[in-house]
């Protein structure tokens, strides 16, 4: 392709020219700290979630490190118009996560407010979620959860402001008796997933598990 010739894809870490469908070169890929969590047993996300809401299972693909490659990957996905990075991250997830015989009933990603969606042009979690849906044969619903308020990104808020946010989400339709896998990019305080989880739990006899691209450990 002519565009590939004049604007070659480069590793997001070392800037080396790489294949068009890659995010990082092989050397930099080795620097990504994958968690190797077991979805069904105790891990740091489950420990934190248990303090906030009843949770079934939890999983994180990577450890989020301020100066590490995982942060660059998430930044490229969210702020650099690299929506297709979500598909790559989903591929890495499917290589490592096995639901065995206990697949959730539905995949639900954290929504953006319509204004933020218009500004960014896409929800960074949608392609990631849809790729997982196709691989595991689990339906997804991008409309189940609505964000009620427009606000700046969680990463740009101080901790006190994050804790003061009240009822930022709501459920748009009736749902009961389902095991929902809630998907987000970075797990920090857990307040975002907790807010959504309680809406899902209070909507009916539902259960909630959590999957994130990275966890701030």
Structure confidence by residue, pLDDT tens digits, 74-121:
999 999 888 999 999 999 999 999 999 899 999 999 999 999 999 999
Determine the 3-state secondary structure of 89 from DSSP: helix
Phi/psi class of residue 109: alpha, beta or left (left: φ > 0; alpha: ψ in -120 to 50)?
beta
Closest C-alpha among 211, 216, 214 to residue 73: 214
Give yes or no: residues 103 and 156 share one domain.
yes
Give yes or no: residues 53 and 20 share one domain.
no
Query: What is the structure's pLDDT at 66?
Result: 86
The residues pairing with 63 across neighbouring beta strands, listed in sequence order, are: 215
Question: How many distinct structural domains can be found in the chain?
Answer: 2
Name, in order, each residue with C-beta under 8 angstroms of 156's C-beta and a sequence gap of 6 or more.
Answer: none
Query: CA–CA separation, 52 vs 200, rounded Å?
Result: 14
Closest C-alpha among 46, 140, 82 to residue 74: 82
Give yes or no: residues 60 and 133 share one domain.
yes
Give yes or no: residues 17 and 52 share one domain.
no
Query: What is the structure's pLDDT at 3?
Result: 45
Give yes or no: residues 160 and 205 share one domain.
yes
Cα-atom radius of gyration of the chain, to the nearest Å? Answer: 17
pLDDT at residue 2 is higher than 60: no
Give yes or no: residues 9 and 98 share one domain.
no
Determine the 3-state secondary structure of 201 from DSSP: helix
Token reading at 171: 């459920």
Give yes or no: residues 8 and 114 share one domain.
no
The CATH number assigned to the domain holding 48 equals: 3.40.50
Token reading at 207: 């259960």
Give yes or no: residues 91 and 105 share one domain.
yes
Structure confidence by residue, pLDDT tens digits, 146-189:
999 886 655 555 555 554 556 799 999 999 999 999 999 999 99
Instruction: For residue 63, give the H/E element and its range.
Output: strand 58-63
Structure confidence by residue, pLDDT tens digits, 50-70:
999 999 999 999 999 888 899
Query: What is the structure's pLDDT at 150?
Result: 81
Token reading at 164: 């003061």
Name, in order, each residue with C-beta under 8 angstroms of 8's C-beta and a sequence gap of 6 or more.
Answer: 17
Give yes or no: residues 4 and 86 share one domain.
no
Query: CA–CA separation, 208 vs 217, rounded Å?
Result: 21
Give yes or no: residues 162 and 194 share one domain.
yes
Give yes or no: residues 16 and 109 share one domain.
no
DSSP code at position 156: G
Query: CA–CA separation, 50 vs 43, rounded Å?
Result: 11
Give yes or no: residues 76 and 179 share one domain.
yes
Domain residues for 19? 1-31
Query: What is the structure's pLDDT at 161?
Result: 53
């Amino acid at each position: 392709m002519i565009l590939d010739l004049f604007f070659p894809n480069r590793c997001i870490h070392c800037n080396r020219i790489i294949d068009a469908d890659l995010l990082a070169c092989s050397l930099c890929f080795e620097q990504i700290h994958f968690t190797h969590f077991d979805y069904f047993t105790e891990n740091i996300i489950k420990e934190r979630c248990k303090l906030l809401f009843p949770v079934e299972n939890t999983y994180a693909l990577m450890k989020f490190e301020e100066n590490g490659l995982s942060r660059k990957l998430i930044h490229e996905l969210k702020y650099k118009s690299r929506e297709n990075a979500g598909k790559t991250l989903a591929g890495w997830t499917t290589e490592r996560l096995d639901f065995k015989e206990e697949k959730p009933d539905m995949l639900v990603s954290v929504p953006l407010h319509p204004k933020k969606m218009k500004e960014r042009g896409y929800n960074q979690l949608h392609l990631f979620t849809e790729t997982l849906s196709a691989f595991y044969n689990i339906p997804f619903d991008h409309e189940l959860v609505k964000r009620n308020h427009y606000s700046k990104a969680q990463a740009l808020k101080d901790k006190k402001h994050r804790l003061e946010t009240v009822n930022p989400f709501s459920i748009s339709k009736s749902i009961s008796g389902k095991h929902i896998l809630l998907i987000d990019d970075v797990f920090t305080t857990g307040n975002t997933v907790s807010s959504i989880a309680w809406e899902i739990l209070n909507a009916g006899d539902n259960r909630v598990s959590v999957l994130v691209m990275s966890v701030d450990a």
